[in-house]
Chains A and B, each alone.
Chain A
Amino acid sequence: MYQADIQATTTYLKELLERSTTSQGLEWLTQKMELVSSEKAKPKDFYLSFSAAPRFIGKENLHLTQQELQMADMIRSGFNPSHWSAAQAARTLLLLSLPHQDGESFFSQIETLFNTADMRELVALYAALPLLPHPELFRKRAAEGFRTNMGDVFEAVALDNPYPADYMEMDAWNNMVLKTLFVGKPLFRIYGIEKRRNAKLARILSDYAHERWAAGRTVSPELWRPVAPFIDEAILNDIKKLFTQPNELEQQAAALACAESNNPSAKELLNSHPQLKELVEEGEIAWNKIGEKNLELQ
């Protein structure tokens, strides 16, 4: 039923907010959290405070220290609020204050919010998914989040969010990874990208690369990250092509993919590029670095 200890999460988020909002803001929030969690609360008490949160808390970004980020990961593996705003943290605190013993009623109140949310509210709701009790109830909702074409909303559910890796079925997950590339967002910010690699995804991504090449378009070097362990004779041709691309990052991706593959032909291919092989072995070439550099180039 729980992904994260609610008490610990609440304490953590409140401490972050102490730095990012006023004392009046905190007081307002504390009162609303008490109201929302009490038995006398009406649905409108929750909805009004959820919407109004930025008015009292502000919309500044939280500025987290390295230590605070590590603490987040201890509270819930993969929880990463580095792109969160103060209002978003306050909205998450309100969600965590809702009584949740009755899972269905908890879910239906949050669904009502999703169905009428504006853009920033959607961002807060999707990014809060990995902290909510009854996570299994939100699978369909998360898949809906992948369908959005609002960039910030897509990022909230797909990037820096451990919920998809932990709860989504394979097809939904694959679709999310493909769409992340499709809309030009960075793959390295998808939590669990390594853990959830699968053969079907590798095939889909290779097809997608072929489509792009046929249209004379570039292909993100990050595309090969989930493909690497599934290099077969067909995909080997893609990797050979990568080694000949003028973009250095694509050559690096080719080397790294070969290094992560058990395919003997891939190993052989890597041996024919000794310089790149050495850089891989020294840790100079890594997927996150490729992703970051690729992002800088955009």
Chain B
Amino acid sequence: MTVMTLAGAINAGLRAALAADPKTMLMGEDIGALGGVYRVTDGLQAEFGPRRVMDTPLAESGILGTAVGLGYRGYRPVVEIQFDGFIFPAFDQIVSQVSRTHARTNGVVSLPITIRVPFGGGIGSAEHHSESPEAYFAHTPGLRVVSPSTPQDAFTMIQQAIASNDPVLFFEPKRRYHVKGEVDVDRPLADAAPMGGANVVVTGSDVTLLAYGPLVATAMDAATAARAEGISIEVIDLRSLAPLDLDTLAASVQKTGRLVVTHEAPGFGGLGAEIVASLTERCFEYLEHAPVRVTGFDVPYPPAKLERHYLPDLDRIMDGVDRALGRVGAEAGAAS
């Protein structure tokens, strides 16, 4: 076991992927000499050279479009989108090309492109630096969407994403980049849990609380706080946002009868809406209360000094848990 930050774990995973396959290459803005604005690719260009760790012009559509062509040629591009809010110039290439080239070519051409996106808020950034755009991509057939919450998952899941023959959106919780954890760097990738599966990180019996990426830690804090009040929360880290591991999620809801979903992204049309709908369809007769979403509000990501009102925090998640338990008066603070 090695102790690493989440960012360092991704760096180690990228290094392992580059070493394992000469067709794997990294592309992005400032990822070379600088090592990325978050230093996630630190040292990799020096180790693998400028053709395998390519600094690109400042054009996100250009990065994704050229990655498509490299995919046609048999390459496995790993692209970095510098910040979540900068992904939209590439949206057309991702939605119209990356996601459907495999289908368009009747399965002949695979585009094993990994799109790394530092995402989410809580770091006091300027506008366009704290977005949570994952729902756009989860909605798009042909893409896989994942988000790790721990250094161990970051290390294994980045390698699994690169190894996948499908395009993968890899959402990195940027406010967790510097959180440290133990990483087993020696365990063979084949022995790791698949990237598509959810992970029950706290076992409980009263309420199922679903989170991913930056809010998993907050959800676990909620479970700890609730335990002191005699409430048993089961926390599940989704890990994969598309597809969803509905079997694992449904099993938990069938056990607890109560469901809370939390994410930073706005609630309307978000992942929470899909999860609640899917689980209600599957578990309607098990539910003892209407499912609850605790999400960002339906506003543009706010200026830094308003972030604390926007981001679901421990108190708002606890409030959501109270609502799911049917506690009277616990209404404020939940989105939707």
* A and B are partners in one complex rather than unrelated chains: no
